[in-house]
A = this chain, B = another copy of it.
Amino acid sequence: MNHDVLLDRIERLELRLRAVEDEQEISQLVAAYGPLVDAGEAEMVADLWTEDGIYDVDEISMAGRDQIRAMVRSKNHQGWIAGGCAHFLGPVRVQVTGDEAVAVCHSLMIVNQGGAFEEAPEFVVRRATAHHFEVVRTAEGWRVAKRTSRVLDGRDEAPALLVRGAKGEPA
């Protein structure tokens, strides 16, 4: 066995490891969203996106980190936190192609419509949502270039997002 054979094996390991790292980093990127948004950490939420990243939800479409920060700081969002709220995202299915990737998952938004837990809390599922992420490799790591989210209330757009996400296609 010579040098070139060893080098070849090392190179294949490097490629495989990078694929594993990419998927893990993208999963971690998405896993950070729920805790950060429910903590009201506007800066860190926005930093999950690229500078001009898009977050397109049913009621609102945000373009750029400023608009994402504004959503987190909005009276509306702060009201959810004050009452008790979980943006609970599931594990993502990820498909990476070079410096781009598509990820897909569900989320549940759980809100407390009642009082303190020891008294009369009332946790309800406000919405179940389909999420499609287009992520890109940047100098700072993977970031969300575009997130498209549609409520799973029977509208056709939501299952359509899921299938495009599962196939690794753009939204």
Contact = CB atoms under 8 A, between A and B. Distances in A.
Interface of A: 1, 3, 6-7, 9-10, 13-14, 16-17, 20-21, 23-24, 27-28, 30-32, 34-36, 38-41, 44, 58, 81-94, 104-106, 108, 110, 112, 115-117, 121, 123-130, 151-155, 158-160, 162-163, 165-167
Nearest to A88: B106
Copies of this protein, total:
3
A164 to B, nearest CB: 9
A155 B27 contact: no
A36 B162 contact: yes
Contacts of A17: 13, 16-17, 20
Given A123-B126, A160-B39, A163-B35, A7 B1 contact: yes
Contact of A166 (B13, B44, B83, B84): B44
